[in-house]
Structure 1
Amino acid sequence: MIEQLSWKVGGQQGEGIESTGEIFSIALNRLGYYLYGYRHFSSRIKGGHTNNKIRVSSTKVNSVADDLDVLVAFDQETIDVNYKELNDHGVIIADSKFEPKKPEDTKAVLYSVPFTELATNLGTSLMKNMVAVGATCAILNIDVEVFREVVKEIFGKKGEAVVQKNMEAIRQGYQFMLSETEGQISHLELAPADGKKRMFMIGNDAIALGALAGGARFMAAYPITPASEIMEYLIKKLPLVGGTVIQTEDEIAAATMAIGAGYGGIRALTASAGPGLSLMMESIGLAGMTETPIVIIDTQRGGPSTGLPTKQEQSDLLAMLYGNHGEIPKIVIAPSTVEEAFYDTAEAFNLAEEYQCPVIVLSDLQLSLGKQTVEPLDYSKVEIRRGKLIPLQEELPELPQKGYFKRYEVTEDGISPRVIPGMKNGIHHVTGVEHDETGKPSEKPLNRKQQMDKRMRKIQHVHFNTPVYKNCPHEESDLLLIGFNSTRGAIEEAIGRLEKEGLKVNHAHIRLIHPFPSEELLPLIKSAKKVAVVEHNATGQLAKIIKMNVGYGEKIVNVLKYDGNPFLPSEVYTECKQLFQPQEI
Structure 2
Amino acid sequence: MKSQISWKVGGQQGEGIESTGEIFATAMNRQGYYLYGYRHFSSRIKGGHTNNKIRVSTTPVRAISDDLDILIAFDQETIDVNYHEMHEGSIIIADAKAKPESPEDSKAQLVSLPFTAIAKELGTALMKNMVAVGATCAVMDLDTKVFESLINDLFSRKGQNVVDLNIQALNEGYKQMKDEMSNLETEHKLEPTDSEGHLFMIGNDAIGLGAVSAGVRFMAAYPITPASEIMEYMIDRLPDLGGAVIQTEDEIAACTMAIGSNYAGVRSFTSSAGPGLSLMMESIGLSGMTETPLVIVNTQRGGPSTGLPTKQEQSDLMQMIYGTHGDIPKIVLAPTSASDAFYLTIEAFNLAEEYQCPVILLSDLQLSLGKQTVESLDYDKIEIRRGALVEGDLETPEDKAYFKRYALTDTGISPRVLPGTKGGIHHVTGVEHNEEGKPSEGADNRQQQMDKRMRKTAQLLIDEPVESNERYEEADILYVGFISTAGAIEEAITRLDKQDVKVNHIQIRQLHPFPSDVVQQAFNKAKKVVVAEHNYQGQLSNIIKMNVNHENKIINQTKYDGTPFLPHEIEDKALEIASNLKELI
- TM-score where L is the length of structure 2: 0.98
Partner residue in 1 for 2:576: 578
1:437 aligns with 2:430: no
Partner residue in 2 for 1:55: 55
Equivalent position SS for 1:524 = helix
1:104 aligns with 2:104: yes
Deviation at 1:465, TM superposition (A): 1.7
| Inter-partner Cα distance in structure 1 for 2:14 and 2:557 | 36
Deviation at 1:154, TM superposition (A): 1.6
Contact 2:72–2:93 under 8 Å retained in 1: yes
Partner residue in 2 for 1:456: 454
Contact 1:30–1:195 under 8 Å retained in 2: no
Partner residue in 2 for 1:83: 83
1:303 aligns with 2:303: yes
Q: List aligned pairs for 1:172-187, cutoff 5 A.
A: 172-182=172-182, 187=187
| Inter-partner Cα distance in structure 1 for 2:243 and 2:380 | 22
Partner residue in 2 for 1:278: 278
Contact 2:90–2:186 under 8 Å retained in 1: no
1:507 aligns with 2:505: yes
Q: List aligned pairs for 1:11-410, cutoff 5 A.
A: 11-182=11-182, 187-391=187-391, 394-410=392-408
Deviations 1:154-197 (A, max 9, x none): 21110111011101100000000001113855621000022412
| Inter-partner Cα distance in structure 2 for 1:313 and 1:574 | 21
Contact 1:140–1:186 under 8 Å retained in 2: no
| Inter-partner Cα distance in structure 2 for 1:167 and 1:140 | 18
Deviations 1:296-316 (A, max 9, x none): 000000000000000000000
Partner residue in 2 for 1:559: 557
> Structure 1: where are the runs of 5+ without partners?
none
Deviation at 1:582, TM superposition (A): 6.2
Contact 2:476–2:578 under 8 Å retained in 1: no
Contact 1:139–1:185 under 8 Å retained in 2: no
Supply the AA of the counterpart residue of 2:19. S
| Inter-partner Cα distance in structure 1 for 2:433 and 2:226 | 38
Deviation at 1:583, TM superposition (A): 7.2
Supply the AA of the counterpart residue of 1:171. N
Q: List aligned pairs for 1:421-570, cutoff 5 A.
A: 421-570=419-568
Contact 2:33–2:58 under 8 Å retained in 1: yes
Deviations 1:334-389 (A, max 9, x none): 00100000000011110000000000000000000000001111111111010001
Change (3 A) 1:175 1:314: same
- Higher alpha-carbon deviation: 101-110 or 128-137: 101-110
Supply the AA of the counterpart residue of 1:373. T
Equivalent position SS for 1:314 = coil
Supply the AA of the counterpart residue of 2:471. P
| Inter-partner Cα distance in structure 1 for 2:128 and 2:6 | 21
How large is the RMSD of aligned CA atoms in angstroms?
A: 1.1
Contact 2:139–2:188 under 8 Å retained in 1: yes
Deviation at 1:584, TM superposition (A): 2.0
Identity %: 64
Supply the AA of the counterpart residue of 1:378. D
| Inter-partner Cα distance in structure 2 for 1:584 and 1:163 | 63
Contact 2:404–2:437 under 8 Å retained in 1: yes
Contact 2:501–2:575 under 8 Å retained in 1: no
Supply the AA of the counterpart residue of 2:530. A
Equivalent position SS for 1:424 = coil
Contact 2:395–2:422 under 8 Å retained in 1: no
Supply the AA of the counterpart residue of 2:453. R
Change (3 A) 1:516 1:148: same
| Inter-partner Cα distance in structure 2 for 1:60 and 1:402 | 62
| Inter-partner Cα distance in structure 2 for 1:539 and 1:11 | 34
Supply the AA of the counterpart residue of 1:540. G
| Inter-partner Cα distance in structure 2 for 1:399 and 1:552 | 56
Deviations 1:368-421 (A, max 9, x none): 000000111111111101000112xx2312224231000000001000000000
| Inter-partner Cα distance in structure 1 for 2:461 and 2:556 | 29
| Inter-partner Cα distance in structure 2 for 1:584 and 1:501 | 13
| Inter-partner Cα distance in structure 1 for 2:450 and 2:501 | 48
Deviations 1:259-287 (A, max 9, x none): 00010011010000000000000000000
Deviations 1:419-445 (A, max 9, x none): 000111100000000000000000111
Equivalent position SS for 1:580 = helix
Deviation at 1:152, TM superposition (A): 1.6
- Higher alpha-carbon deviation: 458-467 or 178-187: 178-187
Number of corresponding residues: 583
Deviations 1:487-535 (A, max 9, x none): 0000001111222211111001000000100111111101210000000
Contact 2:284–2:358 under 8 Å retained in 1: yes
Deviations 1:223-252 (A, max 9, x none): 000000000000010111111000000000
Supply the AA of the counterpart residue of 2:518. E
| Inter-partner Cα distance in structure 1 for 2:579 and 2:120 | 59
| Inter-partner Cα distance in structure 2 for 1:397 and 1:149 | 64
Supply the AA of the counterpart residue of 1:573. E
